[in-house]
Amino acid sequence: MALQITDLKKGTVFSLQGEPFKVVEYRQKVMGRGGSIVNVKIKSLTSGKVLEKTFKGSEQLDSADITTRSVQYLYSDDQKSYFMDKDSFEQLELTKEAQHTDFLKEGDDAQMQFFNGRPIGVELPKNLPLKVIFAENVVKGDTSSAVTKDAKLETGLIVKVPAFVKTGDMVSVDTATRTYRERIK
């Protein structure tokens, strides 16, 4: 199915030169008689690279056939992460750049994305609850600005958290920005 450039709203997935992309930002500029120009910031779903592209009003793009399947995260080594398809028990692998295993614990369920039958990435929820396994102590009296400190989470991810977060607390982390959102009680 062909997409018009005006269909490229934020979140739209399309294929460009045989590679799947997702629209991150969208700006449309209407020209007098000539039609419109669309400036988009797109992210490759296979490599994670972000590009800026300009499309003219008459151009058409191919829609990308992205499918998802339920998988279970198994483990990671230096180059790859391994998952198991929950229906067929087939073992699948992704390169470290293509996924976000620093948010996943062994045994966690996730949604894996496929493009033309090959795995390209893992779809994560917007926010994930994770346990703090180590949080630095804060120096008392240092309140001239918002005090933050490093906290190591149960998956190995290190994020900046407010001074009141302690070891053992559960925190919500934004998976898109990799930042602390709130403490969960």
Do residues 41 and 24 lie in contact, with contact meaning Cβ atoms separated by under 8 Å?
yes
Residue 103 φ then ψ, to 5°:
-105, -10
Q: Same structural domain for residues 134 and 118?
A: no
Domain end marker among 123, 143, 161: 123
My answer on whether 132 and 177 are in the same domain is: yes
CA atoms of 94 and 2, how far apart (whole Å): 29
Mean pLDDT of the chain: 85
Whether the pLDDT of residue 98 is over 60: the answer is no
Q: Which CATH number goes with the domain that contains 98?
A: 2.40.50.140
**What span, in angstroms and rounded, lies between the C-alpha atoms of 137 and 55?**
52
Same domain? For 176 and 132 the reply is yes
Where do the DSSP E strands lie in the chain? 2-4, 13-16, 19-31, 35-44, 50-56, 60-63, 66-76, 80-85, 91-95, 109-115, 118-123, 127-135, 148-153, 158-162, 170-174, 179-184
Pair 118, 132 in one domain: no
Domain shared by 114 and 160, yes or no: no
- Dihedral-angle region of residue 175 (phi above 0 means left; psi in -120 to 50 means alpha; beta otherwise): alpha
Sign of the alpha-carbon torsion through 129, 115, 97, 47:
negative
Number of domains in the chain: 3
| Cα 53-121-9 angle, rounded to 5 deg | 35
Do residues 49 and 88 both lie within one domain?
no
| Same domain (yes/no): 17, 35 | yes
- Does 92 have pLDDT greater than 70? yes
CA distance 93 to 75: 10
- For the CA atoms of 46, 47, 48, 49, the dihedral, rounded to the nearest 10 degrees, stands at -130
Note down the domain range covering 157.
Answer: 127-184
Euclidean distance between CA atoms 159 and 148, whole angstroms: 10
Is there a single domain that holds both residue 58 and residue 33?
A: yes
Tell whether 59 and 72 lie within a shared domain.
Answer: no
Q: What is the pLDDT at residue 134?
A: 92
Give yes or no: residues 133 and 180 share one domain: yes
Whether the full predicted model's pTM is greater than 0.85, yes or no, is: no
154/167 same-domain check: yes
Instruction: Tell me the per-residue pLDDT of 38-77, one tens digit each, with 9 for 90 and over.
Output: 888 998 887 778 899 988 877 888 888 888 899 999 988 8
Least confident range from 54-58, 125-129, 181-185: namely: 54-58
Tokens linked to 143: 């309140």
Burial of residue 137, with CB atoms counted within 10 A of its CB: 0-12 exposed, 13-18 middle, 19 or more buried: exposed
Residue 33 pLDDT greater than 80, yes or no: no
pLDDT in tens, 153-178: 998 889 999 888 899 999 999 988 88
Q: Are residues 49 and 10 in the same domain?
A: yes
Across residues 6-13, what is the average pLDDT?
A: 83
